[in-house]
């Protein structure tokens, strides 16, 4: 299961040693409900190597503003605390796997 990421804990996650994948979503977003289970699967599959989290855009204005999230779902990929890739919109699992594998 993906971690719940908030305005209060995201900096700590990004400054850790592992790459980070953040899914920006909302309860009311249909495509987000399609991507959500995929993100949870990836969190389990990459558990020891990558931090996978979900950011509720309705509850976390600071991180949403900092990364200019305008459309959801948006998935951001970080390595060494730096944003290195992103995906906007729904996608198949293999699209996310490719991007995560590039982080490792």
Q: What residues are labeled active site?
A: 29, 32
How far, in Å, CA of 66 to CA of 92, rounded?
27
Cα angle, residue 75 at apex, residues 71 and 81 outer, rounded to 5°: 120
How far, in Å, CA of 103 to CA of 59, rounded?
28
Q: What are phi and psi of 24, to 5 degrees?
A: -90, 125
């Amino acid at each position: 299961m993906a971690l719940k990421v908030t305005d209060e804990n995201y900096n700590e996650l990004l400054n850790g040693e592992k790459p980070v994948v953040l899914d920006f979503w909302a309860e009311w977003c249909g495509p987000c409900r399609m991507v959500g289970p995929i993100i949870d699967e990836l969190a389990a599959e990459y558990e020891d190597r990558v931090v996978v989290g979900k950011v509720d855009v309705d509850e976390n204005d600071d991180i949403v503003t900092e990364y200019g999230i305008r459309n959801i779902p948006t998935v951001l990929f970080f390595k060494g605390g730096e944003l290195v890739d992103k995906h906007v919109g729904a996608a198949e699992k293999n699209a996310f796997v490719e991007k995560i594998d590039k982080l490792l």
